[in-house]
Amino acid sequence: MIGKVLGNRYEIIEKIGGGGMALVYKAKCKLLNRYVAIKVLRSEFTNDEEFIDKFRRESQAAASLSHPNIVNIYDVGVEGDIYYIVMEYVKGTTLKNIIREKGKLNINEVLNFTMQIADGLNHAHRNHIVHRDIKPHNIMVTEDGRVKVTDFGIARAATSSTVTNTSNVIGSVHYFSPEQARGGYTDEKSDIYSLGIVMYEMITGSVPFKGESPISVALKHVQEDVLFPSDVEENIPKNIRDIITKCVKKDQSLRYNNVGELLKDLKKYKNTDEENFVNLDDISDSPTIIIPAVNNESPYEGEEFKGKRRDKNENSKKGKKNNKFIILVAILSAFLLTSAIAFGFVFIRDLVKPPSEVVVPYVVNKPIEVAKKEIEEAGFNFIIEKEIYNSQYKEGYIIEQNVGKEETRRVGADIKVIASKGQKQVKVPDLINKYSTDIEVELGGLKLEEGNVEYKHDDVIPSGVIIDQIPKPNTMVAEGSEIDFIVSEGPKRTSVLMPKLEGKDIKVAKKEIISKGLVVGEISYKNNDEIEKDIVINQSFPFGSEVWENNTVDLVVSSGPEEEENKDKEDREDSSESNNDNSEKTETMVIELPSNKEKVRVKALKIQGDKEELVHDKTYNTDEESILLTVSGTGSAKIEIYIDGEPYGSKTVNFEEDN
């Protein structure tokens, strides 16, 4: 994608991130001369109508929002099988990276970030848009501390029927709400829950729930309460603890009704010293109703009903006499029946045999020791048929048995079970100092997933090379785990404004190019009857344009009128003939091509005194790995090599010496 132009307007410069649905690139808008971020749907999803629909919903939802704490959407487009969204380029880092670097944030930082996130969400909710994936990874923080909520990748307009698909729960498991885990109704309160988890992580340095698998973490969101670690609880102001606790209530009705209420409490904490102002027991969604007290004589009974009650009282007196007779008969019948049973038991007990089959205990999801004891105490043989890896059952627990619930077997039968060896563990490969293009292949073979990829500038490590990974190499992790990476972007590149070189002497132009951090490129001469010799006629980048440092600037220089050029040519030929050894010799150099690009352009300049000559300019496929560069000449010269406009190296060659 690097170098590709989308919509005849946006030139892709570099990859800056990626998520589950899309890759994010930094691009230059040629029309407005500004940097933008472009989110491109991953190629594996372009034939999936469901993902394309989600991608379109993201653009439609986010494009309707305009708020300083939400990343702006500029444009949406499709080019062939490339679906993309053009958005505001935010220069900064993610809140997740800030938490990783600092560990824990102080109260003022937590309050500042939370209020900005809440402001953005409040605007979205007012426009009936629920984000549904609030997490530190989706919160950008600019260099001046401005928060930008991004990645409305699974947001959609909230309606009365907004229900998450139970077969494919969307969101990030460490942050999503219990109703998302259950596949239930999601609304603005789901975002409030996720924001509460983000506040918890900012203030403690870690998420509240961890587990061996996403399923186990999701279950904790549904079943367990969020508790603060004892070592940090004392340092957290009670009102802040209460605010977080109210955000992360399991019952949606016990959370804040909307983000506006949350903002009100945050501002109250910031601006007052009032204590215990957070109401944790407010169930405003359940209306209070008045139920009349139930008395012996209800005020709602009509005259007809009261009349029936009087008749019933009169009849009850007659019934009491009949009841005494019935009770006496019942006692006598019970005595006779008991006697008959006792006599019959004594008579036939020797003829009755114990049952030949009994119910087999059901031991699935029980530890092996417990299962063995229950099976054997019931009179059966306990046999472990095999042990297998399983991500849903802990190691040493029963996965299944050959007899179902409530089924019977003859005493002494073999009861066979399959036990879990737990989730299969694999060793994390060492990808440090390898190119990021190797990630998918290396992890795929081990059934590991690529996690968050962060890009950082590095003055030593080349662009595209992995600087670090989490977990560390050779760590044992469960299959399916995500591995996060930090990838080098190479040295930090800065841009400069192109100076005006046209009309200046070639020597002055060269000095200006070098002083701006640029590289002198190809210098070609052209006859001109109106412009003096050695004056720059044309420059490869227009005056005032923005150019990357170390870019090569080519110049066209006047050689004066044609007669003067011919005279100079004759003088050079005479000088060449007067040389004792006028035959040219060659010098061969080996150039190693970088492997992190598909194609590269190689240029070579030969510099002798004030004269510069472009002696090589060709594009190569990097499959060749290295090329042989042959340069011819006489005397001594300096050969400078450039790959894609960046200096590769230089060498001084004496063509008079034997090679």
- Could you give the residue numbers annotated as active site? 133
**Cα–Cα–Cα angle for 285, 291, 293, nearest 5°?**
150
**Cα–Cα–Cα angle for 310, 316, 320, nearest 5°?**
165
Among candidates 187, 107, 219, 92, which has minimal Cα distance to 148? 92
How many Cβ atoms are within 10 Å of 552's Cβ, its own excluded?
21
In degrees and rounded to multiples of 5, residue 173 shows phi and psi of -60, -30
Contact of 129 with 92, CB cutoff 8 Å: no
Strand pairing report for 585-592 and 22-29: unpaired
Sign for the CA dihedral angle at 328, 330, 336, 341 comes to: negative
DSSP string, 478-521: ETT-EEEEEEE--SPP-EEEPPP-TTSBHHHHHHHHHHTT-EEE
Distance CA 112, CA 535 (A): 58
Query: 140: which strand partners?
Result: 94, 148
Among candidates 448, 445, 452, 441, which has minimal Cα distance to 480? 448
| Integer CA distances (angstroms), 110 to 105, 114, 203, 253, in order | 6, 6, 7, 25
DSSP string, 332-350: HHHHHHHHHHHHHHHHHGG
Tokens of 607: 């510099």
Among candidates 79, 62, 72, which has minimal Cα distance to 7? 79
Sign for the CA dihedral angle at 200, 205, 208, 213 comes to: positive
Tokens of 201: 């992580």
